[in-house]
Amino acid sequence: QSALTQPASVSGSPGQSITISCTGTSSDVGGYNYVSWYQQHPGKAPKLMIYEVSNRPSGVSNRFSGSKSGNTASLTISGLQAEDEADYYCSSYTSSSTLGVFGGGTKLTVL
Amino acid sequence: QVTLKESGPVLVKPTETLTLTCTVSGFSLSNARMGVSWIRQPPGKALEWLAHIFSNDEKSYSTSLKSRLTISKDTSKSQVVLTMTNMDPVDTATYYCARLLNWNYDYWGQGTLVTVSS
């Protein structure tokens, strides 16, 4: 069982917006602004899409945005495109001895 | 250009020890702001963080696997090594190394699939 909770799947039609949630505790998501999001296409390594809650690395589309409220972080993808279909994982710094934790992943299907 | 590349055996037998090497380029393992993590992903399953090591040699391990893992680095060779003892078929997974910068995994290796089977 992952320490961060994500929905197993979400779906949307091209052009729509979707939001993926990532729920933790005050020891991780809620306590620090070190939440990141990763996109993983089948057979590929994960790719950093959002870092420190809401920042986009260079080269990542501005259709991807991140936010946080309390112990829940969110990734929003607007103007869905077929290429966005992938698995998405959140990660957070945690004050526990492990220092790092991932969510269970969310499969995004573009209908 | 930052790159990371994992290397090691593709097949190990149950009870054996797995040794994986991550060779990095484009940055130094002595950079105070950076670390390297090992993360694995069983087929069809989620990412699982295993361990990381920082420039000052500080290390951290997954609580559930701590007794089986050792992470180390050789800065002169730009390599980070992970050993996992007493391998079991449930440890079959793709093993990734990734650069850790401000608690973000900004660069990843391509991953290496390790199968545990007799």
Q: Supply the pLDDT for residue B102.
A: 85
Kindly tell me if the per-residue pLDDT of A95 is higher than 90.
no
Kindly tell me if the per-residue pLDDT of A97 is higher than 70.
no
A5 with A104: CB under 8 angstroms?
yes
Q: What is the pLDDT of residues A39-89, one digit of tens each?
A: 999 999 999 999 999 999 999 999 999 999 999 999 999 999 999 999 999
CA B100 from centroid of its chain's CA atoms = 12
Nearest CA in chain B to A96: B63
Q: Any CB–CB contact under 8 A between A104 and chain B? A: yes
Q: What is the pLDDT of residues B11-46, one digit of tens each?
A: 999 999 999 999 999 999 998 878 999 999 999 999
The shortest C-alpha distance from A22 to chain B (Å) reads 14
Kindly tell me if the per-residue pLDDT of B69 is higher than 90.
yes
Q: B111 and A45: CB-CB below 8 Å?
A: yes
Q: What are the structure tokens assigned to B30, written together?
A: 């002595």
Q: B96 and A97: CB-CB below 8 Å?
A: no
Q: Supply the pLDDT for residue B74.
A: 95
Q: Supply the pLDDT for residue B29.
A: 93
Q: Any CB–CB contact under 8 A between B54 and chain A? A: no
What average pLDDT does this structure show over B85-110?
95
Q: Any CB–CB contact under 8 A between A93 and chain B? A: yes
B78 with B23: CB under 8 angstroms?
yes
Distance CA A83, CA B38 (A): 27
Residue type, A41: H
Nearest CA in chain A to B97: A45
B residues 59..88 contacting A (CB < 8 A): 60-63
Q: Any CB–CB contact under 8 A between B21 and chain A? A: no
Q: B104 and A51: CB-CB below 8 Å?
A: yes
- Strand pairing of A35-40 and A47-50? antiparallel
pLDDT, chain B, mean? 95
Q: A45 and B108: CB-CB below 8 Å?
A: yes
Q: How confident is the model at residue A2 (pLDDT cuts 50, 70, 90)?
A: low
The shortest C-alpha distance from A8 to chain B (Å) reads 11
Express as a percent the part of chain B with pLDDT over 70: 100
pLDDT, chain A, mean? 94
B114 membership: H or E segment, kind and range:
strand B112-116
Q: Supply the pLDDT for residue B34.
A: 86
Q: B63 and A38: CB-CB below 8 Å?
A: no
Positive or negative: CA dihedral B90, A20, B52, B21: positive
The shortest C-alpha distance from B83 to chain A (Å) reads 17
